[in-house]
Amino acid sequence: MFGTGELNDTLIRHKLRFIMAIIMIGFCVFVLRLGYLQIVCTGYYTEKSEDNRIRPVRLVPLRGVLYDRYGRGPLADNEMAFDICVTPNKAKFLQVPDKHRYEALQRLGLAPEAVLKELEANKGPEFEPVVIKRDVDKVTTAYLAEHNSYIQEMVIQARPKRRYKGLAVHTIGYTAPVNESDLGDEYKMNDLKGKAGVESVYEEYLRGKPGCKIVEVNAFGHTVRELPMGIKADPGQSINLTLDLELQSKAEALLEGKVGAIVAIDPRNGEVLVMVSKPDFDPNALQKDWKEIISDSSNPLLNRTIMGEYPPGSTFKIVTATAALEKGTVNTGTHFYCNGKFYLPNWSEPFRCHKATGHGSMNIHEALVESCNVFFYNVAHQKGVDVPLMHKYALMYGLGKKTGIDLFGEKQGFVPEIGKHRGDKINMCIGQGDLLVTPLQMANLICVMANRGFAYKPRIVSQPRSDKLEYAVDVRTQILPGTIDIIRKALNGVVKRGSSRQASLPDYETAGKTGSAENPRGDEHAWFIGFAPFDNPEIAVAVLVENAGRGSENAAPIAGQIFAQYFYKGQKRLAEGPGNSAISRNLR
């Protein structure tokens, strides 16, 4: 019966037996459960435990370093950047009040709520640290490392970051985190990939081979120790560019503040010594400045040496002269009279020479030296010299097609094949009209002159690391040596007596041709192409300054300074500038 209300030993003992039974059942359940977890399922849970603590960490290889032709520089190397990460399941600690944590968040400029929100959206693995702040400065990193025991949820991750010298920025290019489309076996999230210039062209040599280390981590994502397995990362191959660091920095200084391009090539092998495009950008701050850079109307990202297309102006007269001489319509005895104007029959406007009063009677040598337009108008007006002929020789000089330099994005310019109007060939013969060339093409053209009839394919990397790269490809033209000699002599005359005396040197014979290309956007583009020394050329230069005015005044002096830098390593320049010495010598 229930509810007797009597308390006696027998009854209590009876009830105790019931309680004992319940307790025994409870303990039996626990032992069975322990057996299930620890004996039946121990394999499963051991695996889970290892998944927790053992993590493969990708080792990002150091990217190959870029040096100049003499191993100087480095033009691009690596430094360590620090990112702050948080393991998603420990992120809640960010909200725990602590003076060190508060200080750290202040320095990082982060609000815990915002971070948590971001992490909530991130559906990654539980223990994979997520970057909450990239590129943290060294002082803050040191602070976090020092106070790590108070703010355990923050994990510092080091990663290599590209550091650029800031020279030849277009040529060298830049790196950026890979796009989603690149992700795969080779690239993982946040890997760097060359996005422009040499960084991009030689990506496969520079990037190296990633490795993997196996580490034991704690619940906060901190590495406790490295386990003795894994594969080391192979650093990328370093590359020597053909650029000459001193010459390059001199050229950059010369073009600073201007818009334009300079290319210098060693004509003996096609190695590019200088490649300047201005305005440029700071490749170290590209990510930060990106918006500003892409909205800049002067287009700093454009590598004007290979992507800028300009009318060649008078520099094209070399092509016209070649065509006429080869065709035989002109020889050294041919004279035309320049009175400053050229009247095309039944053409409303006269074509003008840059010297309004006229040059008088000119042969081809004088016409090139003085850059007389009227002489070339007359040449082009002759029967046989027409747009297709000039097109043929322009192509022979490498215009209208890519030079094949080992850089991406090269433009091919434009050389008209047929004239639509009678005036077209008159315009074309002095480098106007629809003609478009890149500074590199013009440097290549002057290399043909320097080499007396051939040029090597321009290259930017001097030590090819692969058989795929052709070494010094020789591009021969079919221009007769006689023709070349006539023009070369005239080009020497240009710097000796003509418009470009500032491109001459006291101890070396130089040669060149100026150009002042008319264009619809303002002042003429100033051109100068030239080489030195005259007999055994070592350096060929193309200088373009956009909307600067006459080439003789704005481009030729720059080339002169580059020649001086090349031959005197900048030592003599201060004592007697090449321009001044040339003038003084002329006066003598």
Partner 1 sequence: MIPKGIQVKEFDFVILCTTLLIGILGVLAILSAAYSGFGSSNGIWNELWMKQLIRLVVALVAMAVVLFVDYRILHGFSYILYGIGFALLLILLLLPEKSGVQRWFMKGAIQPSELAKIILIITLARYLSDMKRISGHLRVFIVAMLMVLAYVVLIFKQPALGYALSLIPIALSMFYIGGINEIYLLMMIIPGIVSASTTIFILYKGWSIASITGVTTVIASFVIYGICVFLAYFLISKTRVRDGKKWVKFISVCVFAGLVIAMVGSGLLKEYQKKRLMVFIDPDSDPRGDGWQIIQSKIAIGSGGLTGQGYLKGTQNRLDFLPAQHTDFIFSVAAEEKGFLGAVFILLLYFALIMRGLKAIDRADDVFGSLLATGVVAMIATQVFMNIGMTLGLMPITGVPLPLMSYGGSSLLATFISIGLLLNVRLKRQ
The answer to whether 142 and 156 have CB atoms below 8 angstroms apart is no
Residue 229 Cβ vs partner 1, minimum distance, rounded to whole Å: 17
Cα-trace Rg, the chain: 36
Is residue 467 a contact residue for partner 1 (CB under 8 A)? no
Q: Among 95, 111, 113, 126, which residue sits at the site for partner 1 (rule: CB under 8 A)?
A: 126
* Amino acid at site 534: F
480 binds partner 1 (CB under 8 A): no
What tokens does 120 get? 């909530």
**Contact status: 223 vs partner 1 (CB under 8 A):** no
Q: In what order do the strands lie in the sheet with 54-59?
A: 54-59, 211-217, 223-231
- Chain positions 39 to 58 lying near partner 1, rule: CB under 8 A, are 39, 41-42, 44-46, 48-50, 52-53
Q: Which is nearer to partner 1, 34 or 183 (CB)?
A: 34
Q: How far apart are CA 402 and CA 413, in angstroms?
A: 8
Query: Where in 247-276 is the site for partner 1 (CB under 8 A)?
Result: none
Per the listing, tokens 């020649």 go with: 563
Nearest to 171 by CA among 440, 414, 401: 440
Shortest distance, position 142 Cβ to partner 1, whole Å = 20
Q: Does the footprint of partner 1 cover residue 224 (CB under 8 A)? A: yes
Q: How far apart are CA 326 and CA 285, in angstroms?
A: 52
Between CA 557 and CA 548 the distance in angstroms is 13
Least CB distance from residue 52 to partner 1, whole Å?
5
Q: CB of 438 within 8 A of CB of 383?
A: no
Q: Tell me the closest approach of the beta carbon of residue 151 to partner 1, in angstroms.
A: 13
Instruction: Between 225 and 383, name the residue whose CB sits nearer to partner 1.
Output: 225
In this structure, what token pair is assigned to residue 24? 């025994």
The answer to whether 121 contacts partner 1 (rule: CB under 8 A) is no
Q: Which is nearer to partner 1, 218 or 269 (CB)?
A: 218
Distance CA 140, CA 3 (A): 74
Please list every residue from 381 through 420 that binds partner 1, using CB under 8 A.
none
CA nearest neighbour of 170 among 405, 467, 403: 405
Residue with tokens 């100049």: 68
Q: Using the rule CB under 8 A, give the single segment among 210-218, 465-473, 486-494, 537-545 that binds partner 1.
A: 210-218
Instruction: Provide, rounded to whole angstroms, the least separation between the CB of residue 254 and partner 1.
Output: 60
Give the nearer residue to partner 1 in terms of CB position, either 17 or 383. Answer: 17
* Cβ–Cβ under 8 Å, residues 510 and 528: no
Q: Does 26 bind partner 1 (CB under 8 A)?
A: yes
Is 37 an interacting residue with respect to partner 1 (CB under 8 A)? yes
The CA distances from residue 235 to 33, 185, 209, 227, 238, in Å, are 52, 18, 6, 22, 9
Chain positions contacting partner 1, by CB under 8 A? 1-7, 9, 12-13, 15-16, 19-20, 23-24, 26-27, 29-31, 33-35, 37-39, 41-42, 44-46, 48-50, 52-53, 88-89, 126, 149, 216-220, 224
